[in-house]
Structure 1
């Protein structure tokens, strides 16, 4: 493709999808004690869940700009004319800034896009860009396709506790819920690239039922792709996905899968999330 694509590991695209669309993925890192582990390689969801349960100190780290620089050089060597580099929200990570630094010295034009998303909300932006690139789109057209998809995509999620988000400093305005965190099950969403409070629900079962209703309302009658994410909650994710599959008339494709180590480190076990992305 004349326009090559780069993203980071928090898009959580499958290996098969990455290979099919020729996307280069630069991993973020998870730091467990003194160990620095690459997401998707050494750092798996299971490793993070075990560490959280043992109360091991966990932090996450953006890629080094050189990792992006290497990806941009590789794209040039393969004959690409330009690169679109799509990343998780700059409000949540320095990954976007690292990609911008690398783009300044790249041997070909690089447009770095802050999707203001994470997980498959980000992944759908990458897929939209891939579709435009494979259709022969220009650099501007590929960027526009990604930004259009980002603008229409929404993400909602349930966590068992706000404690892990508090530890990681990613809680933002949801901090207002902390005073009654023991008495509520929080529903959150991505808004303006940040994790924001949505609703307080008294029990986990009611929270998950409410998450389902929100996703159905958000999808409406439109044609949509849907993703259900979880962390150490496979059965709950499967059941939620089945109900959504039955109740959303315009469902095109559904992805169900566990989040990776970076998101997992910040949300903790029990996460359920739904991404609604109009096609």
Structure 2
């Protein structure tokens, strides 16, 4: 069986990086004011952050069903027998459940994986799927493997500005004003399905320390029996400059010297809620190459 691996831009995989690895990527919609763009296609992260700096209305949504079906059909037309499609977590968007529904029409040729991940952790699932496909695994086997490891991951995100959490209805205007006065920064966590509050601390430096300590605890407890080579520690964010992103990456790298820590830009679906200059880090279990 010839099996293709596909995902969406919520994984952070797109452009030349995805092409070099043979990964098919569906761009996710992001709406700025009343105009809809496709992530990684006709809007860059820099353009999105500039729109946020100008306080424009921003929202994310799932692809239209026709766009999804056309995407799958184009892959199958290249001669593949099956497609493993890995969208963002079903707990964060309806796009996964929609994909599962439409995949039923393909008689098993499309296998949609709900492995409850996004960003860095979703990307590791995509790379694991590609490796399994190269080893000769079928689509159903790959799906089962990824879903069995679905919750072996943690993400923490510190939000610098409450503006887009407030606009998205995730916090009330009163709570946002109160937090701004006290310089409180929420640290959010994604552990499987939902985006939840992990902590509230004063200032971004304390928030960064809180996230690092959280990942250290996860390393010692949830992943205590897992060797380093089967784990990935990464950083992410919506930083406006490369220098800000590199400072954060180096800070996490110094705390985890046995890992090679990389930086990923948070996808538009998360950026539309957390705003600019958010910082994130996470730890995920995956099969070592």
Q: TM-score, normalised by structure 2?
A: 0.85
User: Are positions 1:262 and 2:269 aligned together?
Assistant: yes
CA shift, 1:148, in A, is 3.8
Pair 1:227-2:234 in alignment? yes
- Aligned pair in 2 of structure 1 residues 175, 215: CA closer, same or farther (>3 Å)? farther
Q: CA deviation digits over 1:76-129, x for unaligned, max 9?
A: 222222221111122322211332243133375212122322211211111111
Unaligned runs of 5+ in 1: none
Q: Give, in angstroms, the shift of residue 10 of structure 1.
A: 0.8
Matches within 5 A, 1:67-216: 67-106=67-106, 109-169=109-169, 171=170, 178=176, 180-182=178-180, 183=182, 184-216=184-216
Name the residue aligned to 2:278.
Answer: 271
The aligned counterpart of 2:4 is 4
C-alpha separation between the residues in 2 aligned to 1:259 and 1:48? 12
Secondary structure in 2 matching 1:136:
coil
Structure 2 unaligned segments of length 5 or more: list them: none
After superposition, give the CA deviation of every residue in 1:187-216 in whole Å (9 maximum; x if it has no partner). 110134111011111122111122122223
Indicate the SS of the match to 2:243: helix
Aligned residue pair count: 276
Q: Aligned equivalents of 1:6 and 1:42: distance in 2?
A: 20
| Corresponding position: 1:37 with 2:37 | yes
Deviation at 1:156, TM superposition (A): 0.6
Please give the residue correspondences for 1:235-254 in structure 2 after superposition, counting only pairs within 5 Å. 235-251=243-259, 253-254=260-261
How many Å separate the matches in 2 of 1:274 and 1:114? 22
RMSD of the alignment, in Å?
Answer: 2.5
